[in-house]
Structure 1
Amino acid sequence: MTSVLPRLLRAATAGCVGLFAASCSPSLRGTHGPSPADVGPRTSLAPASWSAQSPAGKIATWMREGCRRPEGSRAACVERALTGLIDPAGIAKSMEVLDTLVTTDEEVRRNAHALAHGLGISAYRSPETAAATFAGCTPSQMSGCYHGVIQGYFLAQVAQGKQIGTPQIDALCEPHRASMFLFFQCAHGMGHGVMALHENHVPMALETCDLATDHFIRGSCYGGVFMENIVNVTHPHHTAEGHAGTQAHGQHAADAHAGHQSQPVDAPAGHQAGSADAHAAHQAGAAGAHAGHGAGQHAGMNHGEWKALDRNDFQYPCNAVAEKYRTSCYTMQTSAVLYFTQGSLGAAARACGEAPPEYRETCFSSLGRDITAYAAQNHQRSLEFCRLARGLAEGMGEVWCVAGVAVNFVNLAADPGEGIRFCGLVRDERGKTECYRSVGQTIASLDNTPSGRATHCERAEPAFVTVCRQGAGIQPAGTDD
């Protein structure tokens, strides 16, 4: 698992019909779901004419019509309605309806990852059922549902005043160890969750990640912490606390990372930046602080007041945490830079060029992830935006950016085909090689079998099949696997 963790981190990086009509029997609701009274009146939805077995398209149409002119926020209406599907229809059907809405509703598409987080949080019921609920999620919308379930676990622990230690940390993701993809999503979601334990105090959250005995869990958890650090100050409505407000029950802050429309100020002429529905356009803002933990130092980090971000230092907070955390920090750093520069992809590229040499590849890969959002997931635009990194980092900036784009395309829907199709557009041989190698490494995180990895890599251009296989950790074609 160690070999694929850096790529996984760069990708990362966001779950009863009787609630609307009296036609079904309500099942047991969890602590984190809305009550019937919270859902119906606030969404202004018509009585349901479907059942839990109805096609997702039929439910989505009913929801879209009902939230066209809501009482209050339309986004809140959609979130409440989606959450109300969990008990009668299950988390998988709720996600299927969300995926259907994404295809026809621009606002839902922009916020799809955050909505998936909210569904996961609301689907959580208890430690005993957490593994089954988590497994019921789907990888669409950047796996936000998975992350939300894990957040729900931590939110519940906070609400109940329970302590989290190594036994709890080690046990939480153990049921998913057989699947590298699920194991990572669980551990990454843990990073978002532990921020709730420490009121978004990054050093303390990172040290809670360190309670895990498994190094893979620790590294994945770090990435979730830094992602949450960026989101929670500027988009509180996309955090677990924001979802709690939407769903009318008190919860502590954790996370969700929807995309946000923005226009890169130095994008190539003629290109409008699209909406981001991935981790990419996380805009992080002004300094948050957390006091009351004492002034001591631990592992070189401050346990006193913590400033989330610094508009005058584009290497912060990566340069303020212990070295072992910095790679994970740089997986998200360009999102903070893009916020402070009003979407300047060029400024973000230059900031990566100024990062310490050992973290530049990670930073440029982070830029590639963000670029997919600014390019509205358009392959050609993403490739063109990466040209802003040309000439930086001794000529490797653009190459690493392209690799980051490819990895994110794979992870958007856990589909290697998207990354392979993007690599096919790359003209520079060095960039194409790194693109296919990175896709191969990401394939390794999605498929545990050599035969499955080989099948995916066979879709690459013939001259680069071997590169993809090498990235995926399998032997060249024609040799024994």
Structure 2
Amino acid sequence: MKPLPTLLLSAFLLASCSSAGAITVDDAGEMTGNFSGDVSTVLFIEPSAVKKEFAKFKDTLKAIGRSGKGKRALYEEYVPVIGANGVLGGITELWPKCHSEGHDLGKVIFEKTKDVGVSLRVCRDGCYSGCMHGVLMEAFGGARADVNVDPEQHVDIDLVKSMMDTICKDGTMTAAYSPGDCAHATGHAMMVLADYLVPDAIRYCDGFGDEHMRYYCATGAYMEYVTERDSEDAASGKRALYPCDVGKYPAACARYKMVHVIKRLVQKKSDVAKLLRSCDQLTGKYRTGCYHGAGNGFMSAVYGGALTAMNVCGPATGDERAACIDGLMERMAKYHPDRADDVCDELPLGSADRTMCEAAVGRGMYDMEKDLRLYAL
């Protein structure tokens, strides 16, 4: 495995200065639940009774900004005033594609209810399940080791394993989310527990007994890492694909890292091929993972018609091409099923590419029968 060449990275950075014909990406969450029935009355306040307070909350949150600090303290202040429903409503009005903005709300909700099932019903599908992620982050916080007993250990490993099994089998969780959904959310919590030390978080994820649960947990852990640390890593001069060019789950990492890399380095269509050539500097499953990440990272551009599936995955061959198509289509199938069918229909009838495309659409997100041989070392 080779790190990305410095000259190639410099070329990407120069290319990113152009704003003409920009290729857009999105980093909305990858989970939605299947909640039905009435909205929970826990932490609920009738919106019509707190209109002025709601407006003040929204103005304050807007001033903090989407990536600003201090959201948890604000949510703690306003949940008793406008309800968890009001806080979530304010977040989604400001940022309809919110995800990480909902994490702190989920933490506050669990802090107040001390019950995973109740908290999930309060969150429902808020912020593309970002609220639910926050619930699990806070719930797993109880697994931190007592530093007075064991100052070298981040968490109580035995307790983490027990909680993984219990939470992902909770009735409210299983009624609304697939096992893979829960494992992904658990991965977010594991990275927080590990204080963003990647090897530790992946070791915690490996506490799941099933290989698919371990892999999907790793996807959540890496999503959490790159969401919080990508800008810092880029500013400090770390390798363009760090930490996805090391470790045992390169595709789980690259599917999120590439979203950020594309935002920085791809501004026009001609930059796409340059970025894809960076994948070829890697070897084995690291290269496969890179192409898988490129597929997911360019999903919005293909959905919107700025690129075609073959613009993104055509340069790859063999396993890399299959992984790229898989990365491109599985999330599109979840959020844009009609467009996903159209993208597959654009490929030649009877071709291997079309067969792979249709299979990826059929599997969708977090399939528990997915062949992981391409994705894990």
Q: 1:194 aligns with which of 165, 190, 195?
A: 190
- Identify if the C-alpha distance between structure 1 residues 67 and 380 changes in structure 2 by more than 3 Å, giving closer, same or farther: closer
For the aligned residue pairs, the C-alpha RMSD in angstroms reads: 4.4
Alpha-carbon separation, structure 2, partners of 1:401 and 1:60:
47
The question of whether the paired residues in 2 share the 8 Å contact of 1:95 and 1:116 is answered with yes
Alpha-carbon separation, structure 1, partners of 2:61 and 2:189:
31
Note the 1:329-348 alignment, pairs <5 A.
329-335=253-259, 337-338=261-262, 341=265, 344-348=271-275
Alpha-carbon separation, structure 1, partners of 2:55 and 2:273:
38
1:125 is paired with a residue whose SS is helix
**Letter matched to residue 168 of structure 1:** V
Alpha-carbon separation, structure 1, partners of 2:57 and 2:200:
43
2:311 is matched with which residue? 388
The question of whether the paired residues in 2 share the 8 Å contact of 1:95 and 1:138 is answered with no
Alpha-carbon separation, structure 1, partners of 2:135 and 2:299:
26
Residue 445 (structure 1) shift: 4.8
The question of whether the paired residues in 1 share the 8 Å contact of 2:116 and 2:167 is answered with no
Alpha-carbon separation, structure 1, partners of 2:137 and 2:327:
26
Alpha-carbon separation, structure 2, partners of 1:212 and 1:202:
17
**Letter matched to residue 305 of structure 2:** R
Residue 441 (structure 1) shift: 0.6
1:285 is matched with which residue? 234
Task: Give the alignment's TM-score, normalised by structure 1.
Answer: 0.52
| Pairing 1:152–2:162 present | no
Gaps of 5+ in 2: 1-28, 33-41, 148-153, 371-377
2:46 is matched with which residue? 53
Per-residue CA deviation, residues 248-277 of structure 1 (Å, 9 max, x unaligned), is xxxxxxxxxxxxxxxxxxxxxxxxxxxxxx
Higher helix share: 2
Alpha-carbon separation, structure 2, partners of 1:86 and 1:65:
13
Per-residue CA deviation, residues 146-204 of structure 1 (Å, 9 max, x unaligned), is 21111122445559758421333332453443458343333223222222333321112
Per-residue CA deviation, residues 377-399 of structure 1 (Å, 9 max, x unaligned), is x82335x1644335412388777
2:303 is matched with which residue? 379
**Letter matched to residue 46 of structure 2:** Q
Alpha-carbon separation, structure 1, partners of 2:59 and 2:308:
35
Residue 124 (structure 1) shift: 1.8
**Letter matched to residue 340 of structure 2:** F
**Letter matched to residue 221 of structure 1:** C
1:129 is matched with which residue? 115
1:440 is matched with which residue? 362
**Letter matched to residue 310 of structure 1:** R
**Letter matched to residue 296 of structure 2:** R
Identify which of structures 1 and 2 has the higher relative contact order when contacts are C-alpha pairs closer than 8 Å and 6+ apart: 2
1:73 is matched with which residue? 64
Q: 1:208 aligns with which of 199, 204, 221?
A: 204
Alpha-carbon separation, structure 1, partners of 2:116 and 2:246:
34
Alpha-carbon separation, structure 2, partners of 1:88 and 1:185:
32
Q: 2:128 aligns with which of 128, 135, 142?
A: 142
Note the 1:91-240 alignment, pairs <5 A.
91=84, 94-95=87-88, 98-99=91-92, 101=93, 105=94, 108-109=95-96, 112-125=98-111, 128-139=114-125, 141-155=127-141, 157-158=143-144, 163-177=155-169, 178-179=174-175, 181-234=177-230
User: Between Structure 1 and Structure 2, how many residues are aligned?
Assistant: 314
Residue 349 (structure 1) shift: 2.2
- Identify if the C-alpha distance between structure 1 residues 183 and 173 changes in structure 2 by more than 3 Å, giving closer, same or farther: farther
Task: Give the alignment's TM-score, normalised by structure 2.
Answer: 0.64
Gaps of 5+ in 1: 1-10, 15-26, 29-50, 237-283, 289-308, 447-469, 472-481
Q: 2:331 aligns with which of 400, 408, 414?
A: 408
The question of whether the paired residues in 1 share the 8 Å contact of 2:251 and 2:288 is answered with no
